[in-house]
Amino acid sequence: MSPRVVTMGETMVLINPAESGPMKYITDFKKSLGGAESNVAIGLSRLGHDVGWISKLGADPHGEYLRSFVRGEGVDTSHVTTTPDAPTGLMFKERRALSETSVYYYRHGSAASTMTPADLPESFLADAEYLHLTGITPALSESCRETVFAAVERAREADVTISFDPNLRQKLWDDENEMRSTLLELVGATDIVLPGIEEGRALFDAEEPEAIAAACLDRGAEIAAVKLGAAGALVADHATTERVAGYEVERVVDPVGAGDGFAAGFLAGRLRDLGPVESAGLANAVGAFATTVAGDIEGLPTGEELEVFRGERDAVYR
């Protein structure tokens, strides 16, 4: 049986520091993994939904680790391919108490950057209900860009709903105009768009959430959910626009991955037949929960944990 949601994109081995401080002075690290699309896939799986992930890994121990881990989280990895001609990507995090988390990528020429439309499985995509994409994948290479647009075309032909998180990574683009035109084309070709304020500023020259949402809808999206961090989100369709309050977190440990948690929560809401506003509320909760643990996926909640966090049930201690 094909999964209800399919994601596609690069996942890298994440080298996470054991403590905060400048990278040059840190000597103790822990291995984990991170990648926007697999983060969303794992988030959905933990919430009880069937999800698959399409990617390409190097024929190396890092690739073996990533495939094993993602599969162990209940994600269908049957269409993750391997190449001996390129390595699996790596990234290092740097956390500082008085500034934002920094991430250093070692992904140029990675296995995932060699993806082509030939790597797309026909029925796996066509039989899904949702395809989730980000703006990271088309930035990796020309062939990745072609692969993303081929996936969009096949999904639209099969009436698969497409969600898109622009997930701006300006360092990956050589040309800012090309970045803008590519991501705007994807906004116009997808059904659900999940931008943040930074993406709104870069793509639409807009900073107000209402203006960002309106710009997404004007380009063809059916729903726009603008992420506002701790303030929650603004969600809009062609009938209504509404702000949805966020969740207070006493101590934010690691904000990286919160946006992917938001995407997982929003899609989980749609899979439960919730409306855009209710889905945004669920998304806010997942995103907030994700910030409480170091790592991209470690803080993504199970359905039971999310219900306790939202006050919908009492904690059960085992």
Catalytic residues: 260
Residues 88/63, Cβ–Cβ less than 8 Å: yes
Residues 3/51, Cβ–Cβ less than 8 Å: yes
Cα separation, 257 vs 36, whole angstroms: 7
Residues 80/57, Cβ–Cβ less than 8 Å: yes
Q: How far is CA 252 from CA 195, 230, 310, in A?
A: 21, 10, 17
Phi and psi for 71 in degrees, rounded to 5?
-65, -40
Cα separation, 206 vs 316, whole angstroms: 45
Residue listed under structure tokens 């170091």:
294
Residues 35/11, Cβ–Cβ less than 8 Å: yes
